Structure 1
Amino acid sequence: MSTKLFTLEDLKRTLREAAGVAEGVDLDGDILDTEFEVIGYESLALLEAGGLIEREYGISLDEEAVSEANTPRSFIDVVNAQLAPAQAA
């Protein structure tokens, strides 16, 4: 298994696949600490993105942790917290 961490680029790709991009939103800007609502993503889009990540990386994400992650940085941290044990196995 790869030791690669989940990155902002991975998240942007997954968000585009799960929910597209809202008009007027620049995902290539400095969004790491911008709340998801500001960049056009609601909890349903994040849960869909979480499902895609689970399938792609073979991990299980806590739905509560995903729904509480209100910025890309916190979402990435949730994913990487699950990737670390999976990679150690």
Structure 2
Amino acid sequence: MPEFTAEDLRVVIRGTVGVDDSVDLDGDIVDVPFGELGYDSLAVLEIANKIQKEFGVAIPDDLIVELETPRKLIGFVNQEGAVAS
């Protein structure tokens, strides 16, 4: 699997849960908790489901709480994607 990037995540977010007008999703968001970006756990679950469908990486529901920032989510997807390859 090619590397999953912050831009890939932005595309997934825009395509699933949208963007809060008060958040600059194109800014440096990788270390900002999803809650501060306006996304609750349900929104992150939707993002995880879209990642699984588009990139083939399953993210267990109970792990979502631990993947609290885009950087952690991106890292998990890349780690799991490398294992699956």
TM-score, normalising length: structure 1: 0.87
Counterpart among 64, 76, 79 of residue 78 in structure 1: 76
**1:67 positional shift:** 2.6
**1:60 positional shift:** 1.8
> Which residue of the partner structure matches residue 35 of structure 1?
33
- SS of 1:67's equivalent? coil
Distance across 1 between alignment mates of 2:13 and 2:45: 10
CA RMSD of aligned residues (A): 1.1
Distance across 1 between alignment mates of 2:28 and 2:56: 29
Distance across 2 between alignment mates of 1:66 and 1:78: 10
- SS of 2:64's equivalent? helix
Count of residue correspondences: 85
Partner AA of 1:4 in structure 2 = P
Provide Cα deviations, 1:30-56, integer angstroms capped at 9, x if missing partner.
111011111111111111011111111
**Identity of aligned pairs, percent?**
42
The runs of at least 4 consecutive aligned structure 1 residues that moved more than 6 Å come to none
> Which residue of the partner structure matches residue 14 of structure 2?
16
Distance across 1 between alignment mates of 2:12 and 2:53: 11
Partner AA of 2:56 in structure 1 = G
**1:77 positional shift:** 1.2
- SS of 1:40's equivalent? coil
The structure with the largest helix share of the pair is 1
Query: For 1:40-51, what aligned pairs fall within 5 Å after superposition?
Result: 40-51=38-49
- SS of 2:83's equivalent? helix
